[in-house]
Amino acid sequence: MNIYFISRNYKSVFDAAGKAKTDCEFVLQKMGFKNLGFKQSAIPNSVLGTLKNFLGITLALLRLPFKATLCTQYPNSKFRGYILFVAKLKRCKIITIVHDVRALKGKTKDTYKEISQIVTDVIIVHNSSMKAWFIEQGVKVPVVVLEIFDYIADRRPEQNDMTPSEPHYEITYAGGLGHKKNAYIYDVDMLSATKYKLKLYGRGFEPESVKVKNEDSIIDYQGAFPSNEIAYKIVGDFGLVWDGDSTHTCTGQYGAYLKFNNPHKTSLYLLCGLPVIIWKEAALAPFIINNRLGIGVSDLKDLDRTLANLTHADYTAIKDNVRNYQNKVMSGYFFETAINKAIQKL
C-alpha cells in the first residue's frame, strides 16, 4: 500500500503526549506505513530537535509520492502547515490523529483557526464527546472515534496481579502534581478517608502544601519516572482520573477538559492492571463504566463510602475485565482499529 508517516524528535521521556505519539508511530510501522523522515529520536535540546525535525520533514516531503496516503498527528510542532501544503500539492489523502485541542483547553480563542489546522480528509478524535464538538463547529469530513489511547509495552506489568485481601485500597494518581493543574490533591486529607490512601507519581509535588502532618496524611509521594518505565513502578489497587482545583468536582481549565479528552493516564492504569476511578462527567467515564473497568464518582467525598460498598467479588470481576484491556492497550489495538476505519473512509 502507498501509505506513509513522518517521524520526528520527541524531547521529553517523561511526557505523556510524547509517549502517545511514539506509540502511534509504532502502530503505523506495524501496519505497514513507511517513515519518510529521519529515524525517531529523543534529543532534549529544543534548538537541535527543531532543526532535526525541519530537515527530516523536508526530506520526507521530497520523498512523498503523488496521490499517496499520509498519516499525521496533531499537534506536531511548528511545521504542520508546511506538511499539509506540500501533501495537498501532491494530491495526497491525509489522515490526522488528534492528541490535543487547544481551544477545548481554553488556550486559544481562535477556534476556527485551530480547526483549519486540524481538519484533513479524515480525523481521528478521542471519543464521542470530542467528535460531537467537532461536528458542532461545522466539520464535514469523516470523524473516527479512537475510544481510548493505547500504551505500548513490550512486556506485561505483573506487579498488580494480586487482589487485595482487605478492603483498604491503595489509589494511585499519575500526572502533574503542582497546584496549577491539580490543587485538589492537597485537599484529600480533609476528606477523612478511612478506606484508602493516595499514592502519587509524577513531577511537581509540593510537600509543603500538604495540610496535615506527614504521619496523619493519606498522601504518599512515590517519585517521577520516564514514560517507558512508570508502568512497572506503579503499585496499587486503583488508578484515579481526576483533575482540577476541587475534590468536589473537576473544575478549572484542566477539569473542564476532562469532558472532552481521553487522559493518557487512564491507558497507563489499564496497562498496569489497575481498575479505574473516574469522574462521572468525564468523556471517558462511559467507556470505563460500561466495560466494567472501574467505578465513577461525582465527588471525592463519596469515594470512601463507594469503596466500603464494593464487594470483593465486584472488585475481582472488574480486575478480570481490566486484564483483557491490558492486553489491548499494550499491543496497539485501539490505534490500529481507528486507523483502519480511517483508511476505509478515504
Count of CA atoms in the C-beta half-sphere (13 A) of 131: 15
Average pLDDT over residues 307-335: 96
pLDDT tens profile 72-95: 999 977 899 999 999 999 999 999
Q: Are 64 and 90 contacting, i.e. CB atoms less than 8 angstroms apart?
A: yes
Q: Are 168 and 199 contacting, i.e. CB atoms less than 8 angstroms apart?
A: no
Residue type, 191: L
Model confidence at 322, in pLDDT bands (50, 70, 90)?
very high
pLDDT tens profile 161-170: 988 877 789 9
Sign of the dihedral defined by the CA atoms of residues 27, 28, 33, 39, in that order: negative
Helix (H) or strand (E) holding 97, with range, is strand 93-98
**DSSP, res 54:** H
Q: Could you check whether the bond before residue 75 is cis, i.e. omega within 30 degrees of 0?
A: yes
Burial classification of residue 89, based on how many CB atoms lie within 10 Å of its CB (0-12 exposed, 13-18 middle, 19 or more buried):
exposed
User: What is the rounded distance in angstroms from the CA atom of residue 298 to the CA atom of residue 255?
Assistant: 12
Model confidence at 302, in pLDDT bands (50, 70, 90)?
very high
Average pLDDT over residues 272-301: 98
Residues 6+ positions from 333 with CB-CB distance below 8 Å:
150
User: What is the rounded distance in angstroms from the CA atom of residue 303 to the CA atom of residue 187?
Assistant: 14
End-to-end CA distance of the chain: 14
**pLDDT > 70: percent of the chain:** 98
Render 195-239 in DSSP notation, one character per residue.
SEEEEEESS---GGG-SS-GGG--EEEEE---TTTGGGT--SSEE
Model confidence at 177, in pLDDT bands (50, 70, 90)?
very high
Strands laid side by side in the 169-174 sheet: 219-223, 196-201, 169-174, 238-241, 276-279, 294-297
pLDDT at 276 over 80: yes
Domains of the chain by range and CATH?
A: 3-151+332-345 (3.40.50.2000), 169-329 (3.40.50.2000)
At 308, list the grid cell. Answer: 466500603
Q: In the prediction, which pLDDT does 17 show? A: 65
Residues 6+ positions from 193 with CB-CB distance below 8 Å:
218, 303, 304
Q: In the prediction, which pLDDT does 163 show? A: 84
Count of CA atoms in the C-beta half-sphere (13 A) of 123: 26
Task: Give the SS3 label for residue 176.
Answer: coil
Other beta carbons less than 10 A from residue 274's beta carbon: 29
The chain-wide mean pLDDT, for the chain, equals 94
- Show the CA angle centred on residue 117, arms to residues 114 and 120, nearest 5°: 130
Q: In the prediction, which pLDDT does 42 show? A: 83
Q: Are 56 and 6 contacting, i.e. CB atoms less than 8 angstroms apart?
A: yes
Average pLDDT over residues 136-148: 98
User: What is the rounded distance in angstroms from the CA atom of residue 223 to the CA atom of residue 230?
Assistant: 10
User: What is the rounded distance in angstroms from the CA atom of residue 289 to the CA atom of residue 98?
Assistant: 24
Other beta carbons less than 10 A from residue 280's beta carbon: 15
pLDDT tens profile 96-124: 999 999 999 988 889 999 999 999 999 99
Q: In the prediction, which pLDDT does 41 show? A: 87
User: What is the rounded distance in angstroms from the CA atom of residue 200 to the CA atom of residue 334?
Assistant: 27
Which range has the worst mean pLDDT, 43-52, 227-236, 319-328? 43-52
Scanning the structure block, which residue is given the C-alpha cell 475534590? 247
Q: In the prediction, which pLDDT does 14 show? A: 60
pLDDT at 16 over 80: no
